[in-house]
Structure 1
Amino acid sequence: MLLGKVIGSVWTTQKEKGMENVKLLIVQPLNSLKESVGNIVIAMDRIGAGVGETVIITQGLPAQKLTNEKNSPIDAAIIGIVDSFEVK
């Protein structure tokens, strides 16, 4: 799992099977100091995250299993909206 900040949205008129009615958001991964790290990720969002929110994303097979479609092309999904976190 990764911590990230939602920085934008993606709109598409054509999608592969298994991605119908899927909201896509652009997420910038963050480190524990809330600094940007790595490349942006386009993640499926079914929980209602919005631009500016800190989220938890999962990637790979765990993300794909969140869809009802077998062999869905999803490789990242938002699985939580972070209210706060603390690092000591």
Structure 2
Amino acid sequence: MQLAKVLGQVVSTVKEPGLERFTLLLVQDASGADPEQTRGPAYVAVDVVGAGVGEVVLVATGGAARVAAGAEIPTDRAVIAIADTVIRAGTVSYRKT
């Protein structure tokens, strides 16, 4: 799993069967000690938890993403949790407001 930040949504009126019940989110991996700081390219993930723009989330990849999204849909990444708090070395580095 990877911590990431939700940057926005990807709207698609035509989707693979099975994907129509999901929102597609544009996310970017968190970098370093501050989960709200991002790095690398943005990518699309299937949202299975109802995350919103600006939230820090956990993203599963590969087979774990497909299982989280309900198995038989074509996805490599799925948002599987919304972070409330991130604690690193005993110090809170992120707290949802």
- Shorter-chain TM-score above 0.5: yes
- Distance of 1:5 and 1:44 partners within structure 2: 14
1:61 aligns with 2:63: yes
**Runs (4+) off by over 3 Å:** none
In the superposition, the TM-score normalised over structure 1's length comes to 0.87
Gaps (5+ residues) in structure 2?
Answer: 90-97
Contact 2:46 2:69 survives alignment (8 Å): no
| Greater RCO (CA < 8 Å, at least 6 residues apart) | 1
Gaps (5+ residues) in structure 1?
Answer: none
Identical pairs, percent: 38
Contact 2:6 2:54 survives alignment (8 Å): yes
Calculate the aligned-residue CA RMSD, in Å: 1.4
In the superposition, the TM-score normalised over structure 2's length comes to 0.80
Task: Render the CA deviation track for 1:44-67: whole Å, top value 9, x for unaligned.
Answer: 112111001000000111111123
Figure out how many residues of one structure are paired with residues of the other and give that number: 87
